[in-house]
Amino acid sequence: MNVILLKDVTGLGKQFETVTVKNGYGRNYLIPKKLAVIANKANLSTVGAKLRQMQERENRAIEAIQQLAEKVKASPIRVGAKVGTTEKIFGSVTNVQLAEAIKRQTGVEIDRRKIVIPEEVKTLGVYKAIIDFREDIKQEIEFEVVPE
């Protein structure tokens, strides 16, 4: 029996994949639990339309994220920090402070958990950070730590 999976099924396949299963498994488990539908012409065309809609939505989302990434990269980010007489920062600059500075200066709100600062920021200067917008879209930005 050929079925189209409506959800990911461990050991069988991913969503919208057409697979061959035994009749009893399809009729008694997959179809009643709404994990799959029978692979006929009508269902194949319906799934094809859903796939196209999902792909279009995905493309629009990727485009919007890329525009945000370019907007963040285009403007210089300055993070203010309290410093002593030797230009050492009291404490260090964190991803929370960087997220707030990005929001204040560009208007783009980025979750602090998506910002990675590879090195410790304990003095004034220019540093790099990586913003992980999605698993496939990462943007490296430069930010400058200036006295407050």
Residues 71 and 119 in one domain: yes
Torsion of CA 130, 71, 61, 98, to 10 degrees: 40
- The domain boundary, picked from 33, 65, 97, lies at 65
Most confident of 3-7, 67-71, 129-133: 3-7
Give the pLDDT band of residue 132 (cuts 50, 70, 90).
confident
Residue spans of alpha helices (H) in 5-125: 23-25, 41-74, 95-106
Which pLDDT belongs to residue 34?
93
pLDDT over 80 at 36, yes or no: yes
Residues 27 and 45 in one domain: yes
Residues 10 and 40 in one domain: yes
Which domain covers residue 120, as residue numbers? 67-147
Residues 93 and 38 in one domain: no
Q: For residue range 38-71, what is the model confidence (pLDDT) as tens digits?
A: 999 999 999 999 999 999 998 998 888 888 878 7
Residues 47 and 93 in one domain: no
Average pLDDT over residues 128-132: 89
Which pLDDT belongs to residue 30?
94
Residues 72 and 53 in one domain: no
Q: Are 68 and 74 in contact (CB under 8 A)?
A: no
| Global pTM exceeds 0.75 | no
Residues 93 and 107 in one domain: yes
Residues 100 and 132 in one domain: yes
Residue 17 belongs to domain with CATH number: 3.40.5.10
Q: For residue range 70-113, what is the model confidence (pLDDT) as tens digits?
A: 877 777 888 888 888 887 888 888 889 999 998 888 888 888 89
